[in-house]
């Protein structure tokens, strides 16, 4: 999908903000220069381009008053030091995934998403229903302003060279799986090795790790995991959805006039739409290509999923109880999840079940 179409898709609200900014006499305004550091390889599809979508929109909508230069992982700092750079003021804005920063603030890992948690639509709604303000409370501890700037949608369960017959199959496995999913597998006896995306393929090739989980067909294919692993398991129980975060140094945020703050917020919304729309459009194509290359797509058994869900509940409760802010975030998510699941069961879930029934549907070209 072309970037221009996303810029056009920001809608009336974004257009209004942009129009107001462009109407201002930019020549008389101070020009601000920001550095955006992100935690993904430069030029990597979707996650590596979403920061560019944000930067391009902000530059155009501000009439050149706010210029954002984008740097990929390793160009200025390593991927997992992005938050440090923004929090300290060495850079103005960062882009990554909330659970990358859980070592600095434990509640971060819950914001990304919970195992067996919410769909992308439900999670976006959670932010509307108070989750955004609660997430900001977490990010303020690191001196940052928080925005949602992407969502993976439902991921895949990972790449393996052994069959996963039950949760016992995870015992002794060296696997890359970040976030809460990694905590669950660690509790089941796996050794979790958290690595940035660019290091995963060589680690699989060398045997430094036995298995890995990344995102889904399109981005996994781009890294070439199908060349080093035999089995591709689903569903992605560990991340039914997973957000990308865009975070601005709070001192820099407070320096912005209100119109530029509105433009930054609109740019984050555009990046959010870019990520999920790109992945939704491209995953089916990549999935078919992987199937044509004889990748073995394997479902986790229901028994395995039930055991994973039970262990997930134990791990979530244990981690959430270690500090009051984590408990506050988790309780808020669980309350919303319980409420929205009932509505989803009668709407999207029911339609998906109906759509999978055996019937004759419309044919291409009326054939």
- DSSP assignment of 56-74 equals HHHHHHTTTSEEEEEE-TT
pTM: 0.88
Q: How far is CA 227 from CA 161, 164, 213, 274, in A?
A: 11, 19, 14, 28
Checking if the pLDDT of 273 tops 90, the result is yes
| Beta-carbon contacts of residue 335 (< 8 Å; ≥ 6 apart) | none
Residue-wise pLDDT for 191-216, tens only, equals 999 888 889 999 999 999 999 999 99
- From the list 54, 65, 69, 72, the residue with the least C-alpha distance to 29 is 65
Q: In angstroms, how far is CA 194 from the centroid of its own chain?
A: 16
Torsion of CA 160, 162, 167, 173, to 10 degrees: -70
Secondary element (H or E) of residue 6: helix 3-8
Please determine, looking at this structure, whether the domain spanning 158-239+294-321+328-335 carries the CATH number 3.40.190.10. Answer: yes
Question: What pLDDT score does 122 carry?
Answer: 97
6 band by pLDDT with thresholds 50, 70 and 90:
very low
- Say if CB 163 and CB 297 are below 8 A apart: no
* Three-state secondary structure call for residue 78: coil
Question: What pLDDT score does 22 carry?
Answer: 40
- From the list 84, 87, 112, the residue with the least C-alpha distance to 98 is 112
Checking if the pLDDT of 332 tops 60, the result is yes
Checking if the pLDDT of 68 tops 60, the result is yes
Domain ranges in the chain?
3-151+240-282, 158-239+294-321+328-335
Is 239 annotated in some ligand binding site? yes
Burial class (CB in 10 A: 0-12, 13-18, 19+), 136: middle
Is 155 annotated in some ligand binding site? yes
Question: What pLDDT score does 169 carry?
Answer: 97
29 band by pLDDT with thresholds 50, 70 and 90:
low
Is 176 annotated in some ligand binding site? yes
Tell me the average pLDDT of the chain.
92
Domain 3-151+240-282: state its class.
alpha beta
HEC states along 101-138?
Answer: HCCCCCCHHHHHCCCCCCCHHHHHHHHHHHHHHHHHHH
Residue-wise pLDDT for 249-260, tens only, equals 999 999 999 999
Q: Do 3-151+240-282 and 158-239+294-321+328-335 come out as alike in CATH topology?
A: yes
Alpha-carbon distance of 216 to 156, in angstroms, equals 5
Checking if the pLDDT of 130 tops 50, the result is yes
């Amino acid at each position: 999908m072309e970037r221009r179409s996303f810029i056009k898709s920001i809608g009336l609200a974004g257009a209004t903000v942009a129009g107001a900014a462009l109407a201002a006499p930019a020549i008389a305004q101070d020009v601000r220069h920001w550095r955006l550091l992100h935690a993904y390889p430069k030029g990597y599809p979707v996650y590596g381009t979403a920061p560019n979508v944000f930067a391009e929109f902000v530059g155009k909508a501000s009439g050149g008053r706010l210029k954002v230069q984008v740097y990929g992982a390793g160009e200025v700092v390593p991927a997992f030091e992005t938050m440090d750079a923004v929090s300290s003021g060495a850079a103005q804005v960062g882009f990554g995934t909330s659970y990358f920063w859980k070592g600095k603030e434990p509640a971060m890992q819950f914001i990304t998403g919970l195992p067996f948690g919410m769909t992308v639509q439900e999670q976006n709604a959670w932010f509307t229903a108070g989750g955004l303000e609660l997430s900001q409370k977490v990010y303020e501890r690191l001196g940052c302003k928080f925005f949602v700037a992407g969502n993976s949608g439902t991921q895949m369960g990972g790449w393996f060279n052994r069959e996963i017959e039950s949760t016992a199959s995870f015992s002794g496995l060296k696997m890359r799986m970040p976030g809460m999913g990694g905590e669950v597998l660690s509790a089941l006896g796996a050794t979790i090795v958290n690595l940035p995306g660019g290091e995963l393929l060589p680690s699989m090739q060398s045997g430094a790790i036995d298995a890995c989980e990344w995102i889904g067909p399109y981005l996994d294919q781009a890294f070439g995991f199908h060349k080093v692993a035999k089995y591709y398991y689903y569903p992605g129980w560990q991340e039914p959805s997973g957000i990308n975060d865009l975070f601005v140094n709070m001192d820099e945020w407070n320096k912005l006039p209100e119109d530029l703050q509105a433009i930054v917020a609109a740019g984050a919304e555009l990046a959010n739409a870019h990520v999920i729309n790109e992945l939704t459009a491209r995953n089916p194509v990549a999935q078919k290509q992987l199937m044509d290359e004889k990748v073995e797509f394997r479902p986790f058994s229901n028994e395995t999923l039930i055991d994973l869900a039970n262990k997930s509940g134990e791990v979530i409760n244990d981690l959430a109880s270690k500090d009051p802010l984590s408990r506050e975030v988790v309780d808020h998510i669980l309350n919303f999840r319980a409420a929205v699941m009932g509505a989803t069961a009668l709407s999207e879930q029911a339609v998906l079940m109906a759509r999978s029934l055996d019937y004759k549907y419309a044919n291409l070209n009326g054939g």
